[in-house]
A and B are shown apart, each in its own frame.
Chain A
Amino acid sequence: MPIKGQVWKYGDDVNTDVIFPGKYTYTVSDPAEMGEHALEDLDPEFRFKVQPGDVIVGGKNFGCGSSREQAVVCLVTKQVGAIIARSFGRIYYRNCINNALPAISCPQAVDALERGDEIEVDLEAGEIRSAKGTFAFPPLPEAVMGIFEAGGLIPYTRKRLGVED
């Protein structure tokens, strides 16, 4: 089923400190509480107004900086549907896959989309659909698709090790 929601648009080099401030890294451990700090130092209204399925659109190098996984988990908690960017910080990109949050590199969509646009992201078709146009993106490499399909690295590892639910 496609992801449907509104666009929250930001610029280049959005770093993990503004997505989830470092001062909370060892004082906030509950994912629900992590969500209450999402994008706190970038867009103070985001955490109060974001709706399930909404999509973050960033520029180049989205999620650069610290390896802190809370910067992905806080968005998963807020039920963000996907992140579309020109490019991603590499650890952030891995953290997205490992938490089954779609991270899509699609410069054409970044150029076209603006805050508040209604969009659909179809992972199976590899398409972003909006009033501004339809944009294609390549699928994940096959070797890591399994992690994404299992719902993240932890369920994937359980499956791989044959751990019973």
Chain B
Amino acid sequence: MGHTFAEKILAQKAGLAQVVPGQIVEVTPDAALSHDNTAPISRIFGKIGVARVARPDIHVVVLDHACPAPTTKHAQNHKTIREFVAEQGIEHFYDVGRGVCHQVLAEEGFALPGALIVGSDSHTPTAGAFGAFAAGIGRSEMAAIMATARIWLRVPESLKIVVHGRLRDGVTSKDLALHVIGDLGADGGLYQSVEWHGEGVEALDMEARIVIPNLMAEMGAKNGYIPPDDVTLAWLKGRARAPFEPVYPDDDATYARVVEYDAAAIEPVVAKPHTVDNVAPVREVAGTPIDQAFLGTCTNGRLSDLAAAAQVIEGRKVAPGVRLIVIPASSEVYLAALDAGYLRTFVEAGAVVESPGCGPCMGNHLGVPAEGEVSISTANRNFRGRMGTKESDVYLASPLVVVASAIAGQIAHPDDL
């Protein structure tokens, strides 16, 4: 009998011949990712009472959640982290300005096919775009990994999504992922390993693929997986920091559920307030006035996202009274966008371009909405209060829809500008 991706990789990492869903295994992760929460994690680690981090080489620490520090408290938090990584010999440390942790993990070559990655951030499944098994964990768990280098994982059931055909022009992987979340619900993949297969996925470039596992947390999934292929290998060339061996599911693996979609039937969508599964076609909410548009985050702050948005806004202006905030996902993206002239295009159109990081995504700084205001964002979460005040509405959409809405001053389909 064949096995799913999750079953195969967890058996391999646990040193077992095979595992079954529901079984609990103990593993040492290949990479353990944390961000600004490394300060509280270091305090929890201190309570455990061992002097040294067991495996400093597996830890990757990226400052991104509030960077550069907006308040003294945030700055103190960063300072604690700098001291901790220096003291513990954690060399994979990326300071303020390098970018959002999930993007940095990929660019720095940690997100590899066949790698087992855990992160104290719910969007850790992002690395599944490269064929890694990547799951979010809590702070105490990261502290325990610092002490023991070990973590328990329950072998998940698997959900197989097959996307037939190809997305139409102007329809993005964000629309595909939101469409599926809207269809299956916020718990549609609860506790599950969600594998993405089919021509509709294979046809996507690497940056577009990253969006899909990034959004799997919004379906309750443990991890998302896209089988590595030539597109993956080409992207990893010159980036991968270790040799790797891809893991593929068997053709006769057993899935809890298989769901099929026709890519050509998918249209641009938005997730309406206040849940990510509250999905509707863009044209259904077109005309809704907005106060702010946000292009960035670990979901859609990559070069191809900025390129697509720059193309739409070139020669146009942000609507009067509307703010367009642009935050490249990393310093690498920032420089490439600078060289390509996209940042100039944004600023000339009236946008505000800010330094790499999470920005206003979870309400920390760099453009949070006022009470009663409406935002449209390329992020992955629109929960009540997410951007700082519960008295505001957040719509989620693709970079194309977000920038079209910034130009129109209201939610707009790019074809209707």
Contact = CB atoms under 8 A, between A and B. Distances in A.
Given A13-B186, A13-B187, A154-B47, A22 B144 contact: no
Given A157-B144, A157-B148, 20 more contacts: A15-B275, A17-B385, A17-B386, A18-B384, A22-B385, A23-B388, A25-B36, A25-B65, A41-B385, A61-B186, A61-B220, A65-B381, A67-B136, A67-B138, A67-B139, A87-B190, A90-B222, A95-B140, A143-B24, A161-B48
A158 B40 CA distance: 18
A23 to B, nearest CB: 4
Interface in B341-364: 362-364
A87 B187 contact: yes
30 contacts: A17-B362, A17-B385, A22-B362, A22-B385, A23-B363, A25-B36, A26-B66, A26-B364, A27-B74, A29-B40, A65-B217, A65-B381, A65-B383, A66-B122, A67-B122, A67-B136, A67-B137, A68-B37, A69-B140, A89-B190, A95-B138, A99-B140, A143-B152, A153-B141, A154-B44, A157-B148, A160-B148, A161-B147, A161-B148, A163-B50
B121 interface: yes
B276 to A, nearest CB: 9
A163 B48 contact: yes
B49 A158 contact: yes
Contacts of A112: none
Nearest to B364: A23
Given A26-B73, A98-B138, A67 B40 contact: no
Contacts, number: 133
Interface in A7-28: 13, 15, 17-18, 21-23, 25-27
B71 interface: yes
A72 B139 CA distance: 11
Interface residues of A, number: 41
Nearest to B381: A65
B266 to A, nearest CB: 24
Contact of B362 (A66, A157, A164): A66
Q: Is the interface of B mostly helix, strand, loop or mixed?
A: loop
B93 interface: no
Interface string A79-106: 0000000010111001100110000000
Contacts of B39: 26
Most B CB within 10 A of own CB, among A13, A65, A67, A163: A67
A64 interface: yes
A111 B364 CA distance: 37
A164 B49 CA distance: 8
Contacts of B222: 90
Given A66-B122, A154-B144, A91 B138 contact: yes
A52 interface: no
Contact of B65 (A26, A69, A99): A26
Leading 3 A-B pairs by shortest Cβ distance: A22-B362, A61-B187, A17-B383
B146 to A, nearest CB: 10
Interface in B274-310: 275
A2 interface: no
A28 to B, nearest CB: 9
B364 A64 contact: no
A67 B120 contact: yes
Interface of B: 24, 36-37, 39-40, 43-44, 47-50, 65-66, 71, 73-74, 77, 120-122, 124, 136-141, 143-144, 147-148, 152, 154, 186-187, 190-191, 217, 220, 222, 275, 362-364, 381, 383-386, 388, 390
Given A23-B364, A41-B384, A61 B137 contact: no
A13 B40 CA distance: 27
Nearest to B71: A27
Contacts of A95: 138, 140
Contacts of A94: 137-138, 141
A23 B383 CA distance: 13
A91 B187 contact: no
Given A26-B364, A41-B384, A66-B122, A90 B144 contact: no
A67 B254 CA distance: 29
A89 B220 contact: yes
A157 B362 CA distance: 31
